[in-house]
Each structure stands twice: as structure tokens, then as C-alpha cells.
Structure 1
């Protein structure tokens, strides 16, 4: 980014307001879903749990609890603080997951919030008693930047393109994949630098 780009970014940061997740999201916790329940109620709808493998899918059942754009996160265990984005999907979550639903999509774009939380949540994980946790009460207190909607959309469009590029390269040469991921991380950090400014203040 050149000087003009830096000036534009600085101007956009001045328009940013700050809010807690509890102020801008409905926060839910999942329910207990056992492996026996999965076996006895097999179906087409995914159940997300604390694992990060297989995009967090624990299994599939014949009913669903949620049917809207949302973000889920892992509340307990080694993967606590991992976030996942859901769109146009019917699904459920287990009791070691939480769910965020944006209250006003004229103020916050869910995909922007997902990218932002990918940078923030791990910093808020508690390591007490050797069991990492990020429970709903702690999640609700996390402060996030809320830039103008047009700026959120611009950031999402750029990061979506980089994300698609990195995924398309998954079968390419290791050096090329590493270079693209490094480039993606650089621009992601620059675009989401609101958080760094907030923590310095």
C-alpha cells in the first residue's frame, strides 16, 4: 500500500466504533449430543463439535437447531477459541461449542466478524486448571471494531479472494503454497489492524 492507501486506511479507522460481542450478537451454547445419539438419529444435517478436523463436523443427524448465517466457536479443550463461519446451512452444535448471531446486519457483516474473531479469540482463552476455555461470558466481553458497512464489505471481498486463492493452491508446490499463505497473512493483518490500534490505546 502506498501513501494514499495508508491515508485512506487512517481515515477509515477514524470512523470505527467499538462494541462488545454481547452488544452486537445473540450468544447461544450448544447441547449435549452423544455418539449414541448420532448413531440413533442419523441424517443429513451436520453437528459441529470441538474438533477442528473435518471443519469441526462431529457427525450428522436428522434434525437441526439453527438455520441462519452465524459463527460458531469451540468453548473447551485444546481447540478452544477456534471459530467457524456458517452460511446457508442447517446444523446443530454440541455443548462444547458456542454460537454468535449478529443482531443487526445493517451494522455488522457476519463474515467480517468471523475474520476479525479469527485474529482475536485465541487471546481470550483461559488456561486455568490445564483445560483451555473460552466460555460465553468471556466471549460476550470481547471488544471488536465496527467500521462502516462499506469498509467491512471491502475487507471481506479482499480476504475471500485470498482465501480462495490459498485453497486453490492446496495441490500446488509447497513453496508456492507457503508464499501465498504468507502473503494472505500479511494482507489479513493489515486489513484487520483495527484491533492492534485498539490494544495500544
Structure 2
């Protein structure tokens, strides 16, 4: 929140609750009965964060455009995603979009990314972020020009973070493959037989030399 507020420094803002300026909804799909192995055209997002929150695909969609989704309960409750395109969400997922021409969806998404965790309720094992609470979250609304500038800055930072994570992932996979190669080589029958032969040969040679 401190970093976000720094970007708002010297900007005139109007504070509103999300309920005043946004539509807040829950998904329609019951995750319990969803076909996770479906080969559809459009993604279905749920409460997980792995694979960008996608739990499967379907040939139908409920939303088309730019929206904000957030996980409503479970270990990842309060995790926020900025979505674009055609998609659907399960009941474990909340959806937000601006009703005001003075508020950008991406601006909402970046603000919530830094703020939702402090609004979680329930136990530590099963935290929740319900629509009634989300509607009461206050958001600063600067001018559209300021919002666009802040979104551009945060887009660049997000892209840099994603690039770094991708490079780290590639490097990690490379290291894992390298480890697996040498592990398999060291444990191969050919290598073990060679080691056994060398040890046996060295022992016989040492014994023969000692007797001499």
C-alpha cells in the first residue's frame, strides 16, 4: 500500500467504496461438478493460483472484456487477477468491474492486489473474503490521466517481474535436468559396474603388492 500511495503523491483523489463505483459478483459454476479435463475454447478460473487460476476450459463463457477476479475463500483467499478476454469463473471466485467512467479496471486490480489480504475474515486455516466485505473496501480515485500513468508504471513492473520469474524458472529447470542427468549416470548399471570393477581391481592390486 505504501508503494501505491507513493504513486498517488501530490494527486488529488476522491475516496469511494467499491460498492459505490463497482459491480461485485460471484461465479456461477459449481467447482464440485466442473469437468476439469474439458477441452474447451475458454478458460474457467477458480480459487487456486496455480496455472493463473485456471482449472479447466469450456466452450461457453460468462464474461468478455477486462475484469478483476479474486479468490473468495481457502488458502489463497484475497488473491487478485486482472483478466482480459472471454472466460468464466466458479463460485469460489469473485468478480469486479467498474461502473464509473472515472475508474479504470486495471487501476482497481492493482489497488486490490496490495490491499485485499488485510480484509480477510475467518480462521487462518480457512480465510474468506466475501462480497459484503469487498463492497466496503475504499479506493482512492485520482484523475483518469493519473490512473493511466500509474497503470503504465505498474504494468512495466509486473512485466519485469514476470520476465524475471520466467528466467528463474528456466534456470531452475535447467539445473534440475542437469542434476537428473548426472544422477542417472551415476546410478546407471554401466557406471556402477565400472566402479565395482575398479574397486575390485584396485583391491587385488593392493593385496598383490603387499604380499610381494
TM-score class, shorter: 0.7 to 0.9
| Structure 1 position 127, deviation (Å) | 2.6
Larger Cα-atom Rg: 2
Q: Is the deviation greater in 27-36 or in 161-170?
A: 27-36
Residue matched to 1:147: 142
Matches within 5 A, 1:40-119: 42-87=39-84, 89-104=85-100, 106-119=101-114
CA RMSD of aligned residues (A): 2.3
Q: Which of 144, 151, 155 in structure 2 is aligned with 1:156?
A: 151
Corresponding pairs, count? 164
Which secondary structure state, in structure 2, belongs to the residue aligned with residue 121 of structure 1? Answer: helix
| Structure 1 position 40, deviation (Å) | 8.4
* Structure-2 separation of matches of 1:41 and 1:172: 30
* Structure-2 separation of matches of 1:44 and 1:9: 39
* Unaligned residue ranges in structure 2 (runs of 5+): 1-5, 170-212
Deviation by residue 1:31-64 (Cα, 9 ceiling, x = unmatched):
2334654268641110000000000001001101
| Structure 1 position 147, deviation (Å) | 1.0
Residue matched to 2:116: 121
* Structure-1 separation of matches of 2:167 and 2:92: 35
Residue matched to 1:169: 164
Which secondary structure state, in structure 1, belongs to the residue aligned with residue 121 of structure 2? Answer: coil
What's the TM-score once normalised by structure 1's chain length?
0.74
Q: Relative to 1, partners in 2 of residues 1:149 and 1:172: Cα closer, same or farther, differing over 3 Å? A: same
More strand by share: 2
* Unaligned residue ranges in structure 1 (runs of 5+): 1-5, 175-201
Deviation by residue 1:103-147 (Cα, 9 ceiling, x = unmatched):
02x311111111110011000000348420001001101011111
Whether contact under 8 Å (2:41, 2:58) holds in the other structure is yes
Which secondary structure state, in structure 2, belongs to the residue aligned with residue 90 of structure 1? Answer: strand
* Structure-1 separation of matches of 2:163 and 2:9: 32
Which secondary structure state, in structure 2, belongs to the residue aligned with residue 38 of structure 1? Answer: coil
